[in-house]
Amino acid sequence: MKGCACCQTKESCPFASAMEGKAGYKGRILLMGNPNVGKSAIFSRLTGVHALSSNYPGTTVGFTEGRLQLGKAAYRLIDVPGAYTLEPTNEAEEVACRILDEGADAVIVVLDATALERSLFLALQILEKGLPTVLVLNMSDEARHKGIEIDEKALEREVGVPVVSTVAVSGVGIKELLRAIGEARIVIPHHSSNEERWQRIGEIVSRVQRISHRHHTFKDRIEDISVHPLWGGILGAFVLAISFLSIRYIGEGLINYVLDPIFDAFWLPLLERISTALGGEGLLHSLLIGSLIEGRIDLEQSFGVLSTGVYVPIVMVFPYVLAFYAALSILEDIGYLPRLAVIFDALLHKLGLHGYAIVPNLLGLGCNVPGIMATRVLESERERFIASTLISVAVPCAGLQAMILGTLGTYGLKYVLTVYGTLFAAWLILGRILHAALPGYSPELIVEIPPYRLPRLRGFTTKLFFRAKEFFTDAIPLVFVGILIAGLLYESGIINVLTGAAAPIFDGVLGLPPETAGPILLGFLRKDVAVGFLLPLGLEPHQLVVASVTLSMTFPCIATFVVLLKELGVKRLLEALAIMIIAALAAGGTLNFLFSLAR
């Protein structure tokens, strides 16, 4: 399956449901189970389609579908978001229930072999729906390692449907699963109460599972320390600091020692030849190569599609995007993210959220789109509105951060820190205001913390490859469009009309020359490109700080806009937009005022 053009991640495509109904399928099969039991890993094994999988509950919030070949017939296999129960307690569970209610030719219920009892609760609820079902005991290796032995055949007799043991990440048991799907069976549906279900589960577990006693291991110790009031906080600060530093140095290293030399040696000479061939001027020249700076092409400031249009996304932004996702993928696969939820819970409660909202916010630091999609793990509409608004206002995406580092970094670290500090303050203050102003209460954190796992190299590289590929297929075309449109706006003089209209606000409130209005408006297409457009204006460093903050906080980029519309609806989107504009002007204006005091 391919997501729509504006989606950073295919599985989070807000239009995925509209792309249903493809011909050639004999029917549909659902893959269901508790959060973080490995459904996406099994999905990838069965279909060959990459589905993002990590070690934390709620990785899949939309649904991914792929083609499952069973003998001669092809089925649509749907990777359903994780659920603990069919009585939905959050948006992801609601999605899961809706998909199940639409019916299926078979349901594959994935159980966590290390948490059989809990896994069976959802399994029994699904079995009661009277659909052909197969049970999968995933992570059977980890269960054995923990001294848990489950008698597959006995479980099969108890529940009356086929049971297969698997280790999805390494592919063990997948062949057997494919065979078992054909033998999926219906058990006579009868509705029972939760009490009856737990009683039944107790009986089943006592008959099929044997646990040998196991001592506290070193890994258990680390898991405990990670949520310790003091050591957990110190470890968290350490992990975040290491992550940010490595992103910075990897990103910077790739730019200075790999990409810049390559571009200077090969790309620039090629462009110079094209420029000469075009005669150094004219409409085509200014669109493709841009304007010459002191008679030469400047990759950062010429603003042609082939010069700056290629240089900004590939050399200035991509290394940071890659470094960010490398760090994030490792944290995801180890299973560290839910521990951050424990550490940040008390702080996030002050913003009307609970600790798990840290996960969407962190994802937003890569790209706001998956961040906002991930707010589906939050329970209430109120929380989702607060979190989505905070992400689009105060969480800068990797592209934007790369450009802020690349431009302001040359003037000194204090300017970069001022931008980050302002955004963080805006995040706190706006969250506090929204929490106070919006009616309703905030639900509390209830989240399972997965065991630490060693990331697998293959999983890591595949994930990084797909995230990098999405940057090239989804983000870079928008950069080209942005630079083309900007070129046309400048060439036609329309930009002068816009800047004229914006002058009072920019000059009066933000202390910026009216020409900055152009780049900030262009932020609607891509914010990283917009920062690039600020460069030739010759702003003072403090003006660049104000402009960067205003650009970060104001209007979302088009991809974020689309996902906000889809997730929040028109009315809430308009409210969020009003908040963004007011917040951006307030923050930019305050900074400008403070700078004027300092001078």
Give the pair of three-digit tokens for residue 532. 């690039």
Cα 137 from chain centroid?
28
Closer of 135 and 348 to another protein (Cβ) = 348
We find the least distance from the C-beta atom of residue 221 to another protein, in angstroms, to be 11
Closer of 89 and 276 to another protein (Cβ) = 89
Closer of 34 and 392 to another protein (Cβ) = 34
We find the least distance from the C-beta atom of residue 447 to another protein, in angstroms, to be 5
Q: Which spans of this chain sit near another protein (rule: CB under 8 A)?
A: 84-85, 87, 89, 114-115, 117-118, 121-122, 146, 194, 198, 223-224, 227-229, 232, 338, 341-343, 345-346, 349, 354-355, 379, 443-449, 451
DSSP reduced 3-state for 143: helix
We find the least distance from the C-beta atom of residue 444 to another protein, in angstroms, to be 3
Closer of 25 and 198 to another protein (Cβ) = 198
We find the least distance from the C-beta atom of residue 445 to another protein, in angstroms, to be 4
Sign of the Cα pseudo-torsion (346, 81, 385, 584, in order): positive
We find the least distance from the C-beta atom of residue 198 to another protein, in angstroms, to be 6
Rounded CA-CA distance 525/126 in Å is 44
We find the least distance from the C-beta atom of residue 513 to another protein, in angstroms, to be 45
Largest CA distance in the chain: 84
**C-beta of residue 247 within 8 angstroms of C-beta of residue 327:** yes
We find the least distance from the C-beta atom of residue 57 to another protein, in angstroms, to be 10
DSSP reduced 3-state for 77: strand
Rounded CA-CA distance 137/151 in Å is 11
Angle at the Cα of 336 (from 357 to 13), degrees rounded to 5?
A: 55
DSSP reduced 3-state for 154: helix
Closer of 115 and 278 to another protein (Cβ) = 115
Closer of 228 and 458 to another protein (Cβ) = 228
Phi, psi dihedrals of residue 167, rounded to the nearest 5°: -130, 90
Rounded CA-CA distance 96/47 in Å is 20
Closest C-alpha among 438, 434, 343 to residue 390: 434
Closer of 306 and 353 to another protein (Cβ) = 353
We find the least distance from the C-beta atom of residue 377 to another protein, in angstroms, to be 12
Give the pair of three-digit tokens for residue 407. 């431009």
**C-beta of residue 360 within 8 angstroms of C-beta of residue 390:** no
We find the least distance from the C-beta atom of residue 374 to another protein, in angstroms, to be 18
Task: Work out the burial of residue 568: count CB atoms within 10 Å of its CB; fewer than 13 is exposed, 13-18 middle, 19 or more buried.
Answer: buried
We find the least distance from the C-beta atom of residue 371 to another protein, in angstroms, to be 21
Closer of 19 and 347 to another protein (Cβ) = 347
**C-beta of residue 119 within 8 angstroms of C-beta of residue 111:** yes
Closer of 121 and 480 to another protein (Cβ) = 121
Closer of 207 and 214 to another protein (Cβ) = 214
Rounded CA-CA distance 16/26 in Å is 20
Closest C-alpha among 529, 451, 542, 553 to residue 224: 451
The CA radius of gyration of the chain, in Å to the nearest whole number, is 26
